[in-house]
Chains A and B, each alone.
Chain A
Amino acid sequence: MAYVQAFPHFRVRHRYLKATCQEKITRLGTDLVWIPEIEQSVVQFGDRYLQRMFSLQELQDCRQGQQLNYQKLAARVAAKEATMKILGLNKDTALPWNSIEVTRNANGLPGLRLHREAQALARTARLGECILSLSHEHEYAIATVIANVNVRVMDKTHRNTRSSSNEVTIIHVDQR
């Protein structure tokens, strides 16, 4: 108050705002997989590997008759890795691979369905809809995931507002 009195020509106005403004932040994850590595794992560990990595539906989507399509499997492994990158994992985060599932809609477009641990992590990270793209060529498969993160931020246009030459406005922002 003494400070204000020292500058009698300025009028101090207090404004109280709630920080309800939202800003979209985009997270992007991508991963590249060498297809023969997936085939080696299947040959070596069989069903144990497949069950740890994929859902039953994913395995169905990757079968052509009785044969597994390793290009499709590798693309799904890349998608799971790419998704892990946007989930904000640390080294103590337990995340089973099969909690991230690659889906196909009626038009054949790929999507993501998150279960259990992956779903909880996505909620914590405030991830919105995830968009997935898959591709494979010769020995490599690649996947890219993009997701929006909803973040509440202070509206910067209200910072340090000076209403007129002799009025200073102090903004108090409640970010709860």
Chain B
Amino acid sequence: MSKEQIRQVLKEHGKFSADIDTIADDADLYEAGMTSHASVNVMLALEDTFDLEFPDRMLKRSVFESINAINAAIEELTS
């Protein structure tokens, strides 16, 4: 369920040129066209969706580089 929610957030805020549904869970989102600034919007939208806050230590590229990585970060913050 959460990966579907992540995909929805990416679809609305990731500013991808490709259809997000064609991007694999482990694909590099930056390679797929997500900019650093778009990742800020993604982060804020994820905070709204999952009712959490990303701490400063997680504001790095590797946390937002794939759907799997985002999912792992959310699991860590909600556990």
Contact = CB atoms under 8 A, between A and B. Distances in A.
Contacts of B57: 94
The interface size bin for chain B is: 10 to 19
B49 interface: no
A96 B65 CA distance: 16
B58 A94 contact: yes
Interface string A22-62: 00000000000100011001001100110011000000000
A89 B61 contact: yes
Interface in B17-65: 36-37, 40-41, 44-45, 47, 56-62, 65
Nearest to A49: B44
Contacts of A89: 61
A59 B45 CA distance: 22
A91 interface: yes
A37 B38 CA distance: 9
Interface string A101-130: 000000000000000010000000000000
